[in-house]
Amino acid sequence: MIEIHNIHKSFGGKKVLDGISGVFESGKVNLLLGSSGTGKSVLLKCIVGLIKPDLGSVTFDGTYFTNNKLDIRQEIRRKIGMLFQGSALFDSMTVEENVEFPLKMLTDMSKKERQERVDFCLKRVGLEGSNKKMPAEISGGMKKRVGIARAIAPNCTYLFCDEPNSGLDPLTSIKIDMLIKEITEEYNITTIIVTHDMNSVIEIGDKIFFLYEGKKLWEGTKDDIMETDIPELNEFIFANRLMRDAKKLEDEEHREEEKERLAEEGRQS
Amino acid sequence: MLQHFGKYILFMSTLFVRGESPRIIFNRTIDEAILIGINSIFIVAIVSTFIGAVTCVQVSYNLTSALIPRSTIGFMVREMTILELAPTITSIVLAGKVGSNIAGGLGTMQITEQVDALEVMGINSASYLVLPKVLAALLVFPMLVILSMFLSIAGGYIAGTLSGEITAQEYISGIREDFIPYNITFALIKSVVFAYLISTISSFRGYYTSGGALEVGAASTTAVTNSVIAVLIADFICAQLLL
CB contact under 8 A, A89 and B114: yes
Q: What is the predicted pLDDT for the residue at B225? A: 96
Higher pLDDT, A262 or A269: A262
Contacts of A77 in chain B (CB under 8 A): 119-122
φ, ψ dihedrals at B167, nearest 5°: -85, 160
Q: For position B239, what pLDDT does the model report?
A: 93
In contact, A11 and A129? CB cutoff 8 Å? no
pLDDT score of A258 more than 80: yes
**pLDDT interval class at A242 (50, 70, 90):** low
Over residues A87-133, the pLDDT tens digits come to 899 998 999 999 999 999 888 889 999 999 999 999 888 888 888 99
Compare all CA atoms of chain B with the CA of A160 and give the residue at the minimum distance. Answer: B120
Q: Is residue B16 part of a domain?
A: no
How far apart are the C-alpha atoms of A5 and A234, rounded to whole Å?
26
Residue A71's pLDDT is what? 83
Q: What is the per-residue pLDDT for B3?
A: 85
Beta bridge partners of A80: A158
pLDDT of residue B188: 96
Q: For chain A, what is the mean pLDDT?
A: 88
> Is there a domain that residue B4 lies in?
no
Residues 6+ apart with CB under 8 A from A167: A140
The whole-number pLDDT of residue B184 equals 94
Bigger pLDDT: A205 vs B196: B196
In the predicted model, residues of chain B with pLDDT beneath 50 are: none
Using the beta-carbon criterion (under 8 Å), do A82 and B114 form an inter-chain contact? no
Which pLDDT band, with edges at 50, 70 and 90, does A241 fall under? low
Residue A231 lies in a domain: no
> Cα(A34)–Cα(A195) distance, rounded to whole angstroms?
7
Asked if A78 and B122 come within 8 Å (Cβ–Cβ), the reply is: yes
Tell me whether B22 touches chain A (CB under 8 Å). no
pLDDT at A198 over 90: no
In a domain, A70, yes or no: yes
For B15-25, write each residue's pLDDT tens digit.
877 777 888 89
Do A132 and A255 lie in one domain? The reply is no
In a domain, B5, yes or no: no
Number of H helices, E strands in chain A: 10, 10
Greatest mean pLDDT among A36-45, A59-68, B102-111:
B102-111
A164/A259 same-domain check? no
Give residue A173's pLDDT: 84
Nearest residue on chain A to B120, judged by CA atoms?
A77
CA angle, corner B119, sides to B216 and B126, nearest 5?
A: 60
A-chain CB neighbours of B112 within 8 Å are 86, 88, 91
Same domain, yes or no: A265 and A182: no
Residues A185 and A254 in one domain: no
| B13 in any annotated domain | no
Q: Are residues A102 and A49 in the same domain?
A: yes
Report the distance separating Cα A185 and Cα B80, nearest Å. 71
Which positions in chain B touch A102 (Cβ < 8 Å)?
Answer: 121
Give domain status of residue A194, yes or no.
yes
Do A91 and B114 count as a contact with CB atoms less than 8 A apart?
Answer: yes
Domain-embedded: residue B97: yes
Q: How many domains does chain A have?
A: 2
Q: Which residues contact A243 (CB under 8 A, 6 or more apart)?
A: A198, A237
The DSSP call for residue A162 is E
User: Is B110 within a domain?
Assistant: yes
Range of the domain at B36: 21-242
Asked if A30 and A87 sit in the same domain, the reply is yes
Q: Do A80 and B123 touch (CB under 8 A)?
A: no
Q: Which residues of A touch B (CB under 8 A)?
A: 45, 48-50, 70, 74-75, 77-78, 80, 82, 84-86, 88-91, 102, 105-106, 160
Distance from C-alpha of A53 to C-alpha of A58, rounded to nearest angstrom: 10
Residues A183 and A104 in one domain: yes
For residue A87, give the CATH number of its domain: 3.40.50.300
Mutate to test the interface with A, among B112, B125, B127 (most CBs of A within 10 A): B112
Chain A contact for B117, CB < 8 A? yes
Q: Which domain covers residue A111, as residue numbers? A: 2-225
Residues A244 and A219 in one domain: no
B9, part of any domain: no
- Provide the pLDDT for residue A119: 92
Q: Confirm whether B194 is domain-assigned.
A: yes
The tally of domains found in chain B comes to: 1
Nearest residue of chain B to residue A159 (CA atoms) = B120
Residues of B in contact with A106 (CB under 8 A): 121-122
Amino acid making up residue A37: G
pLDDT in tens, A246-257: 777 777 888 888
Handedness of CA A187, A190, A192, A198 (dihedral sign): positive
**From the CA of B119, how many Å to the nearest CA of chain A?**
7
On the question of pLDDT at A171 being above 90, the answer is: no
Q: What number is the ipTM of this complex?
A: 0.83
User: Do A126 and A214 share a domain, yes or no?
Assistant: yes
